Amino acid sequence: MDKNTKQSHPNTGLATVVQQQQALAHPVAESVKAATRPRAGQPTKRTDEVVEEILDRIANGESLINICQDGHLPGYSTFNRWQREDLELLSMVDVAYQFHARTMDDMADSILCGGIGSTGDFKRDEARVGHLRYRLGKLNRRFAEKQQIEVIHHEPVIIDMQIIEGPGGDGV
């Protein structure tokens, strides 16, 4: 018996996790299909007013999936098709997502200050802000984690007319 996991066979825990993931895969795929499928009665005709409303709502922090749930707006897959077919629209959506990132940054600050969006539960607010910051880094490089990279240049050093390989004369 494994005293850390309290299981008789060490592979049993792994099999259980895999089984749980497999059990969740189908419901997750079905909910994605349900959220992104076109709904009867949703318009498929593109108008400037519809595009403008979608861009405004993206810029104000709403997710495209939620926006496309409104009956007077096109479905998620329809709007994505419009973007694939029109690079100018794709560019406008990218700009809207830049503003979306700023809105999410403001929301994160508000939550941390106990303002709008705060649940009052510190742990939950902290987790929500962590998720917002993660998404910010994906949406806009301006908000990404800064990485410091140290570059070390290795050159051979010549001492007494012999070449010593390594980081610089220490014989390594």
**Same-domain status, 26 and 48:** no
Number of independent structural domains in the chain: 2
Extended strands (E) in the chain: 157-159, 162-164
104 and 85 share a domain?
yes
**Residue 172 domain flag:** no
Which of the pair, 116 or 160, is modelled with greater confidence? 116
Q: How confident is the model at residue 172 (pLDDT cuts 50, 70, 90)?
A: very low
Rank 1-5, 67-71, 149-153 by mean pLDDT and report only the highest: 67-71
Residue-averaged pLDDT of the chain: 77
Confidence of residue 52 (pLDDT cuts 50, 70, 90): very high
Average pLDDT over residues 32-61: 82
Q: How far is CA 149 from the centre of its chain?
A: 23
CB 65, CB 33: distance < 8 Å: no
Give the CATH number of the domain where residue 56 resides: 1.10.10.60
Are both 31 and 47 inside the same structural domain?
Answer: no
Nearest to 68 by CA among 112, 36, 46: 36
Using 50, 70 and 90 to split pLDDT, how confident is the model at 47?
very high
Same-domain check for residues 22 and 51:
no
Same domain for 54 and 97, yes or no, is: yes
Residue 113 lies in a domain: yes
**What does 109-140 look like in DSSP terms, one character per residue?**
HHHHTT-TT--S-HHHHHHHHHHHHHHHHHH-
* The pLDDT of residue 105 is above 70: yes
> Where does the pLDDT of residue 148 fall: very low under 50, low under 70, confident under 90, or very high at 90 and above?
low
Is residue 129 predicted with pLDDT exceeding 70?
Answer: yes
The answer on 79 and 52 residing in a single domain is yes
The residues facing 7 across adjacent strands are 2
pTM of the model: 0.59
Q: Tell me the pLDDT tens digit for each residue of 86-103.
A: 999 999 999 999 898 888
Residue linked to tokens 């998404």: 135
Report CA torsion sign: 79, 80, 82, 87.
Answer: positive
**The pLDDT value given to residue 41:** 64
Ranking 18-32, 105-119, 126-140 by mean pLDDT, the lowest is 18-32
Domain of residue 17: give its range: 1-36
